Amino acid sequence: MSNKPIHTVDLDNGLQVAFYDESKKVAADRYMVRLRFAMQIPVDDARRAALGSTVTFEQVRERIFVPADHKQTVFQTLLDTCVSHAVQYLGHPEFVERYLQKISAEQKGA
């Protein structure tokens, strides 16, 4: 596992999403294939006191007990799928505002 992104995508809304391979061996010839993707979202002045200067959007996709000889193919499929969805979903012009509203509401309800 590495804290260094294996791939990054610059989105149309000015943000960047980073993809990380966090796969690990779980048995002699089996792997947990794990892809994490994350992006830092700057917080507007109105919410900064409650949320801080940035919030992190993060998701994980996993496949467990993957045979060693399928590990790379499974990982590449996860990466390709997540990259294509991330560009559309996370790059949407309204994503940041909606996500910040969601996080703000969760903070108030906690």
Which DSSP string do the residues of 34-95 spell out, in sequence order?
Answer: EEEEEEEEEPPHHHHHHH-SEEEEEEEEEEEEEEGGGHHHHHHHHHHHHHHHHHHHTTSTTH
- The better pLDDT of the pair 62, 2 is held by 62
pLDDT-based confidence at 41, cuts 50/70/90?
very high
Domain count, the chain: 1
Residue 2 covered by a domain: no
pLDDT surpassing 80 at residue 2: no
Average pLDDT over residues 28-33: 97
The pTM of this model reads 0.91
pLDDT surpassing 60 at residue 20: yes
Classify strands 30-42 and 16-21 as parallel, antiparallel or unpaired.
Answer: antiparallel
Helix (H) or strand (E) holding 32, with range, is strand 30-42
Distances (CA, A) of 13 to 33, 44, 63, 97: 29, 15, 30, 11
pLDDT-based confidence at 27, cuts 50/70/90?
very high
- The parent domain of residue 16 ranges over 7-109
Residue 1 covered by a domain: no
Residue 75 covered by a domain: yes
Residue 39 covered by a domain: yes
Residue 92 covered by a domain: yes
